[in-house]
């Protein structure tokens, strides 16, 4: 019997939305532990939510994982439950869950959440986190089977966000900004191993190409290896290269939103 539910939303902490979800779960499955992954995903930022969930899922217990970042709430998109790697992911079929499902070994089965017997009533068309996902997750923890939630849905039809990629060619590696955290650190799709393949080592200087701009940036182990206010590149906790400013905001200084193209290369 599953005894862990995790929650990732863009609900924020200023209102009672998160507490309402906790309360619904507690009323159905009071022994279940709820882990809050994040509730400060920028409003409607499906890509940022997907990155957070995918990079966190390896460290979370197997259980039921709710994702509720849905700029299309109340629209035509379907709520789904997806089984992957011994976990069940619940949320909107808008790509939010796709990277975490991939990180868990890929979808084994999927179901459309149609059986209203397991919902909270009345169902708000704009608050499925409380009225659909939370009660369904609680009931799964009490022994309900995912197949009871609704008809099977072909896993190949699940919405999937394009995977961030990196390409090594002509002595450089090209990638994109995957996400920007609350500190302004810009996480790239370029792995530390990509730089190693180019012969880059800690202590070296990187050439950083941002559109038409060309910068030089030290490649160090952490922020503190450079003076406050200085730019630095380092391998973050997910093993990806991040561009940062010690005690500053790299995304703002460099003008790098998610999806921006970046090219890194060793310098002589």
DSSP result, 144-171: --GGGGS-B--GGGS--PPPP--EEETT
Q: Which pLDDT belongs to residue 72?
A: 81
Cα–Cα distance, 140 to 5 (Å, whole number): 10
167-266 folds as Elongation Factor Tu (Ef-tu); domain 3 (2.40.30)
Q: Report cis status (omega within 30 of 0) of the bond before 122.
A: yes
Chain centre to alpha carbon of residue 200: 28
Mean pLDDT of the chain: 96
Q: Which pLDDT belongs to residue 80?
A: 98
pLDDT over 70 (residue 1): no
Average pLDDT for 111-126: 96
Pairing of the two strands 64-68 and 4-9: parallel
pLDDT tens, residue by residue, 39-98: 999 999 999 999 999 999 999 999 999 999 999 877 778 999 999 999 999 999 999 999
Percent of the chain with pLDDT over 90: 95
pLDDT grade for 2, boundaries at 50, 70 and 90: low
pLDDT over 70 (residue 180): yes
Do the domains spanning 4-157 and 167-266 agree at the CATH topology level? no
Percent of the chain with pLDDT over 70: 99
195 in helix, strand or coil? helix
Average pLDDT for 123-138: 97
pLDDT tens, residue by residue, 216-225: 999 999 999 9
Residues in contact with 208: Cβ distance below 8 Å, sequence separation at least 6, in sequence order: 214, 215, 216, 217, 233, 243, 262, 263, 264
Domain ranges of the chain: 4-157, 167-266
4-157 folds as Rossmann fold (3.40.50)
Q: Which pLDDT belongs to residue 255?
A: 95
Q: Which pLDDT belongs to residue 74?
A: 72
Q: What residues does 244 pair with on adjacent strands? A: 232
């Amino acid at each position: 019997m599953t005894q862990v539910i995790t929650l990732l939303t863009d609900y924020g902490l200023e209102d009672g939305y998160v507490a309402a979800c906790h309360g619904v779960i507690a009323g159905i499955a009071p022994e279940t532990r709820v882990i809050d992954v994040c509730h400060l995903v920028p409003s409607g930022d499906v890509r940022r939510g997907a990155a957070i969930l995918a990079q966190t899922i390896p460290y979370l217990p197997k259980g039921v994982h709710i994702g509720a970042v849905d700029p299309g709430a109340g629209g035509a998109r379907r709520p789904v439950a997806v089984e992957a790697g011994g976990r069940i992911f619940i949320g909107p079929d808008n790509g939010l869950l796709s990277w975490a499902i991939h990180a868990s070994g890929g979808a084994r089965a999927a179901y459309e959440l149609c059986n209203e017997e397991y919902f909270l009533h009345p169902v708000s068309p704009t608050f499925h986190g409380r009225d659909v996902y939370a009660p369904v997750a609680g009931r799964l923890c009490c022994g309900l089977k995912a197949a009871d939630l609704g008809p099977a849905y072909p896993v190949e039809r699940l919405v999937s966000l394009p995977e961030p990629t990196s390409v090594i060619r002509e002595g450089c590696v090209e990638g994109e900004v995957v996400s920007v955290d609350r500190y302004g650190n810009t996480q790239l799709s370029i792995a530390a191993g990509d730089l190693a393949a180019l012969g880059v080592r800690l202590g070296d200087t990187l050439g950083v190409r941002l559109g038409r701009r060309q910068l030089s940036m030290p490649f160090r182990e952490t922020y503190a290896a450079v003076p406050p206010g200085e730019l630095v590149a380092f391998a973050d906790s997910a093993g990806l290269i991040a561009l940062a400013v010690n005690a500053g905001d790299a995304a703002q200084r460099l003008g790098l939103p998610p999806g921006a193209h970046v090219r890194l290369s060793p310098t002589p």
